Amino acid sequence: MATERDTRHLLRTIELAEEARGQTSPNPLVGAVLTKGDRVIGEGLHLAAGEPHAERAALAACEEDPAGATLYVSLEPCCHHGLTPPCTDAILEAGISRVVIASDDPTRKAAGRSAGILRDEGVKVETVDGELSAAARMLNQPFRKHAKTGRPLVILKSAMTLDGKVATSIGDSQWISGEFSRARAHRWRAEADAVAVGIGTARADDPQLTARVEGVARQPRRIVFDTEASLPVASQLIRSSAEVPVIVVVSRAAKRTATEALRAAGAEIVVGTGENEAARVASALDELGGMEIQSLLLEGGPHLAGAFFDADEIDEMRVFVAPLVAGGLQAKVPVEGQGVEMLSDARRAVHSSVECIGDDVLITARLKEY
């Protein structure tokens, strides 16, 4: 059972970890706090892959000898050699007497091993549960899904009118959401490993799919789901592929001449296999996960969203509802695909929240948790 003091310091580790959102992938977000009695003697967070982990950053920031201190950490310390040495070594070398962990590391290299190593050396190790642990796990949903499934966490972003339309009957959709909502969406791009659209959106809008906000640590990779490899080599995406990578997901039906033209122009080609679109989505996500893409912001149109839903690969939805009414039987709705026949079969969100952004309402719904 976490004490009030433990709770306070663990919440601080989560705050620290959050400061690096969008910067650490493929590593997780981690924060650490070192204390002696009521005093905080050091804090740290992991800033980027290859940089010191949060535990080592907190030790480096210590104002006094950390021997006998308590270490609070938002994620189980690592115990393996990667780009940096094991944090368990640093903890033992520093003489830390107690470690309090907010959440487990689900990767095969960790999965509780560090706690055993530390306990064997006489360190008292405690792992909390309940709301604190859930909050720490929420920090790293992309990392956790990737560790458990090998696939990226998929977040579907959509903007719709009050009557549930994402475009008019002739395809006009700019702009449904307001300026503040669009700025938020650009921030989401900056936090994601990749942004994906379908070939219909790529052809109609000729988008850049870059994050156009201040303080972007790195641009997301751009992905186009393009069954026949028909993305024009003159598109903005291909023309900028030397600066920001572009991945085109094609099917086996795509002509070799078309895929080779895209490859020669700078695109990376991924072949999605399977007997239908849902199967090809799942296959492509396996390939993208193997490229260390842990989070994917899906901005494609209704057709692609439907294929992802049919593949059961939408983990979260972020939907802007604007104070507009479009009407029209032929106007576009957010999700196509096969869908369900009975509402009892519909996926229900495990958690949802509502926020006002300018004149729009943002509904965030988590469909799965890892």
- Residue 285: CB atoms within 10 Å: 24
Task: Please name the residues in contact with 146: beta carbons below 8 A apart, sequence gap of 6 or more.
Answer: 26, 152, 153, 289, 294
Task: Please name the residues in contact with 159: beta carbons below 8 A apart, sequence gap of 6 or more.
Answer: 166, 173, 175, 176, 177, 181, 319, 320, 322, 360
Residue pair 313/161 in contact (Cβ under 8 Å)? The answer is: no
Peptide bond into 77 cis (omega under 30): no
55 has catalytic annotation = yes
What gap in Å lies between CA 193 and CA 247, rounded to an integer?
12
Tell me which H or E stretch contains 153. Answer: strand 153-160
In three-state secondary structure terms, 223 is strand
Catalytic residue among 43, 55, 76, 316: 55
Q: Closest Cα to residue 272, out of 257, 250, 255?
A: 250
At 303, which amino acid appears? H
What gap in Å lies between CA 77 and CA 112, rounded to an integer?
9
| Token reading at 44 | 């740290």
Bridge partners of residue 363, in order along the sequence: 319, 354
Phi, psi of 91 (to 5 degrees): -65, -45
Active site residues: 55
